[in-house]
Every structure is written in structure tokens, then in C-alpha cells.
Amino acid sequence: MDGDSAARKIRIGHAEREDVIETLRVAAGDGRLTVEELTERMEKAADAKTYADLDLLVEDLPVPPPSSALGRAPGTVARTASGAVVPSRDAPGWELGRPLVLRAGWEDERRRGRWEVPPFIRVESTGATVELSFLEVETAPEIISVDVAGAMGTCLIVVPDGWGVDIDDVRGSWGTRKSHVDQVPQPGLPLVRVSGSLGMSTLTVRYANWFDKRRLEKRS
């Protein structure tokens, strides 16, 4: 067995899986993968065990195979398919098992303006409102996974025109879910995929309303 074959059989961890998932997201954003292909490959990346498993997922993309990282010098940064530096894994939201958690107990939690949107977000609305406004974000992952865990609060998601939001995997229980947004995004724009359980809370998904537009005009 040669050195390359032996290296590709080495077991991987969460960081290696997330590097490939980010590479796949960028490739989809560049039009190299369809949404269906992206979803399928992301699922395989999450289940991958070795470098060989990951290499197969990017072999038709213009990027180095993940196994080449074994020979990377310490301190060398990882880059995505477009050459962008992969975001730091120290921040919550960039790993599948470590989402950015937004909680609203007795006070509202609102994300507005220009904020860095990670691919994995968890919303816990036990009494007040959690608002995710993507109206002013400058960059966003191709797919944003939002896991909701409601009790008696409200989750409000506001997206720009052209974005898509899929709420099919949200369980209602006694809660209410409403979406006024297309499920499929326009080509090249993000998809917000919402899942989880509402309990007795409310999920509302919409585009910018008159008040949002007025607020944005005052800020400009």
C-alpha cells in the first residue's frame, strides 16, 4: 500500500467534515452544484469516516482533495473552492453539532443589520420573540439550517426578495407556522431550511414589510 492510499484511510473529525461542507456550499454558490446535489453531498460529508470518503465528494470540483491537508504545514489556512479563507471554527454556528444559539425568555432577541450569518442556527423562544432578519447581510451560506425549539414565544424570520425558506420539517404541536416566502430560492441565492418543534409558539416567515423598509431608509 503506498503512502497516499494509507493516508486516505486515516479517520477524520468534525473539523474536516465541516471544511468539506463549507467547500460544497461555495461550489453550489458558484453554480457548480445544484441544491439537490449540495444536500446529498452534505449528508454524506456529515457521515464520512475517513479522508477517502471526503475526497470522493469533491473529486469533480476544482479544489485540492481533503487528504492533501495531511501534508499541510502548521499555521497554513484552509480555503474554499473560491479561494476564500474558511471561517474560524472557534465561533458557534460553523459546526453541525455546535450551532449559534439565540434564546428569548422574557426579553426579545433580535438579529438585524449586517451580521455574520453562520450555516447552523438554533432558536429557543420560551416566552418572547427571536427575530432573524437577513435583509442587510452582505454574505450568507448557500443553505442556512435553523432549528427551532419553541415553548410559548415567537420566531420571526425576515428574508430579502429572491431567498427561499423551507418550513416543511417544522412540527407544529399546538403552535402556528406561517410562511409568505417562496420555498425555492432564485438561482444563486440562499435557502433557509427550518426544522424542529414549535410547542405552543409561533413561526412567521416573510419578506420585508412597510415598517422594515422605512427602518432601512432611515439607516441609509
The pLDDT score that the predictor gives to residue 5 is 64
Contacts (Cβ under 8 Å, ≥6 apart) of 155: 123, 125, 129, 130, 132, 148, 198, 201, 202, 203, 204
What's the pLDDT score for residue 95?
A: 79
One digit per residue, the tens of pLDDT, for the chain of length 220 reads 444 566 678 888 887 888 888 888 878 877 888 888 999 999 999 999 998 999 999 999 887 788 876 644 443 344 444 444 445 556 788 877 788 999 988 889 999 998 989 999 999 988 899 999 999 998 888 899 999 988 788 999 999 999 999 999 998 778 899 999 999 999 889 999 999 988 888 999 999 999 888 888 887 6
> How many angstroms separate the Cα of 101 from the Cα of each of 44, 117, 178, 190, 197?
25, 12, 22, 20, 15
Q: How far separated are the first and last CA of the chain, in Å rounded?
A: 62
DSSP 8-state code for residue 74: T
- Separation between Cα atoms, residue 78 and residue 173, nearest integer Å: 43
